[in-house]
A = this chain, B = another copy of it.
Amino acid sequence: MFGDAKDKALKKLRKDMRSGLYSFLVLTILEREGELHGYAIRKKLEEFSDGRLVPSEGALYDILKSLKKYKLVDNFWAEVGGRPRKYYRLTELGREVLAELKGEIGEIMLILKRMEGLE
């Protein structure tokens, strides 16, 4: 019926809904998995979300940069198989912030359910 316009609108709104969660997801993955490099973080996100909540590579590096700026993650270089790899890990601050965010995500989900009348 609306074809093209509908696809464009859905693409945009889907993107918006996902993108606000990326920082949270990266922190969550690092908490579960410990130390990972960028590429591996993306693979883990694919695995855990069935490919639904995965930022593009460019976006992921921007997100990691931002998380580092806020001191929620830090990074170190390690030689693996003779090549340098950039590893990221949660800071203590990151762990604290993540704990609070989990609670808030729960609250947001409740509000959404109430609004949609999903229950």
Contacts and interface: CB of A to CB of B under 8 A. Distances in A.
Interface residues of A, number: 50
Interface in A1-49: 1-2, 5-6, 8-10, 12-14, 16-25, 28-29, 32, 48-49
A107 B52 contact: yes
Interface in A40-74: 48-50, 52-53, 70-72
B17 A96 contact: no
Majority-rule SS of A interface residues: helix
Interface of A: 1-2, 5-6, 8-10, 12-14, 16-25, 28-29, 32, 48-50, 52-53, 70-72, 92-93, 96-97, 100-102, 104-109, 111-112, 114-116, 118
